[in-house]
Amino acid sequence: MKQHISKLTKIIGWILFLLAIAAFCVQLGFLYVDAKFQATYIDNRLFYIINIFCIFSLVLAVLVLLRLTKRFKIVLTSIVVVFIVVQAVMLIGSNQEIKNITSVSPDWKHVLSIKENTETGNAVYYRSYYGILARPKEKLPYETSGEFKVEWLAKDVAAVTYKTADNTIQQYVGTYGDRGSGRSYYYVGAEIHGKWQGNNIEVISDTKGITVTENGESELFDWDSIHQFGTLAVVLKKNDEAVWTISLNENFEVHSAASEKTVGTISLYKATMGDSQPIILRYKGSN
């Protein structure tokens, strides 16, 4: 029995040891990719977490695999504790300088990542590659104030609502998919041409623009104040401030022929830093 346990601990020890080596190799690989391709971790904190994981596995492996004197164990443990504390401090410190806004999609396939330089208010939207790596895609057009709210309107649409330095509300939409063939660009505003209805809310998209009627009050957004993101969402703006985001749900079908029937639903999402839930709207025919 004892032998059995010791065999098992040995196996666990070696697994831990290999995990530590693997984590170390990941970090080395990351540094190379960072230097060569400007790819970084999707969340800067990952770097420190992997470090902590690596050293933690390493020490456990050493303690399990080797018979060490008590003094040696104490020295080893204190080195590791110091190392982990330093990494944790760095993790917290770095996130205060560069704030990471990271959100995983409901189906775990995409990661929305925004990194904000808290000092300058410059925020950059990153696109993820291979899950944990990311590359900068574009700078958010306004100086941010540090308040962000992320809501996934669909499996592949993430609406980011944020407050700017001059106290306006803006929305940025990360899109990770397509409702058409995936090969051609189309305009969301044109695809949702017609009347849409949901709970106390009506949206009409026509040649003038998009009209949103909420509790009997209508507001028209002309095409100049409608900004499209990818091929999945538009943000409706008034006085240079975001008011609504409209996105195409997963069941929405984009047809190349205008004559085909509109299939699927859309989501309407209010731009506010408070609580807001996306409202599902159904097609009620052309005007």
Nearer to another protein, 61 or 279 (CB): 61
Task: Please give the residues from 59 up to 98 whose contact with another protein meets the rule CB under 8 A.
Answer: 59, 61-62, 65-66, 79, 83, 87, 90, 94, 97-98
Q: Which is nearer to another protein, 20 or 281 (CB)?
A: 20
Which one of 119-127, 157-165, 205-213, 243-251 is the stretch in contact with another protein (CB under 8 A)?
119-127
Binding mask 4-43 for another protein (x = CB under 8 A): -------------x--xx--x--xx--x--x---x-x---
Q: Does 228 bind another protein (CB under 8 A)?
A: yes
Q: Which stretch binds another protein (CB under 8 A): 47-55, 161-169, 205-213, 273-281?
A: 47-55
Query: What is d(CA 211, CA 214) in angstroms, rounded to the nearest whole number?
Result: 10
Q: How far is the CB of 104 from another protein (least distance, A)?
A: 17
* Single residue of 78, 141, 146, 200 touching another protein by CB under 8 A: 141
Rounded to 5 degrees, what are φ and ψ at 68?
-120, 155
Q: Which is nearer to another protein, 141 or 146 (CB)?
A: 141
Among 10, 85, 107, 139, binds another protein (CB under 8 A): 139
| Residues in touch with another protein (CB under 8 A) | 17, 20-21, 24, 27-28, 31, 34, 38, 40, 44, 47, 51, 54-55, 58-59, 61-62, 65-66, 79, 83, 87, 90, 94, 97-98, 115-117, 122-124, 127, 129, 135-139, 141, 156, 175-178, 182, 185, 187, 227-231
